[in-house]
């Protein structure tokens, strides 16, 4: 199945978004380690990573076809776990509110200038 170009593109997109999630997380951690304001960066990382997890697991279910939805394969469990990441520790909507309030209060470059 990996020989199909459509599947290869899905895998490439999944890997790219996961890597971007990792980089956002590293940026937030770096700000925190330096003792700088990191709230917006952490919310951006949480928002993007959790939504990427959900998006990627939906793609994985699609790649697996009918097997992606049955409990005999771990993919359906990964999708349920990913959904929890969107609602646990602050929903995506809450993360968006935190990000927007920070942008409106401090401007975009407030956390940028320290890196």
- Catalytic residue (one of 76, 89, 93, 111): 89
Handedness of CA 69, 71, 72, 74 (dihedral sign): positive
What is the DSSP code (8-state) at residue 1? -
What is the DSSP code (8-state) at residue 98? H
89 catalytic? Reply is yes
Tokens of 30: 């770096």
- Kindly report the number of other CB atoms within 10 A of residue 5's CB atom: 7
CA distance 66 to 53: 20
- Torsion angle of the four alpha carbons 22, 12, 65, 57, in this order, in degrees rounded to the nearest 10: 10
Q: Which residues are catalytic?
A: 89
């Amino acid at each position: 199945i990996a020989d199909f170009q459509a599947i290869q593109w899905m895998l490439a997109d999944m890997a790219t978004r996961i890597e971007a999630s990792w980089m956002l997380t590293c940026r937030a951690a770096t700000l925190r380690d330096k003792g700088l304001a990191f709230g917006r960066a952490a919310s951006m990382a949480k928002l993007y990573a959790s939504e990427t997890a959900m998006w990627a697991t939906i793609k994985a279910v699609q790649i697996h076809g009918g097997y992606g939805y049955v409990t005999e394969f771990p993919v359906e469990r990964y999708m349920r776990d990913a959904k929890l990441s969107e609602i646990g520790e602050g929903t995506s909507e809450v993360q968006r509110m935190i990000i927007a309030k920070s942008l409106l209060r401090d401007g975009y470059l407030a956390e940028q200038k320290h890196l």
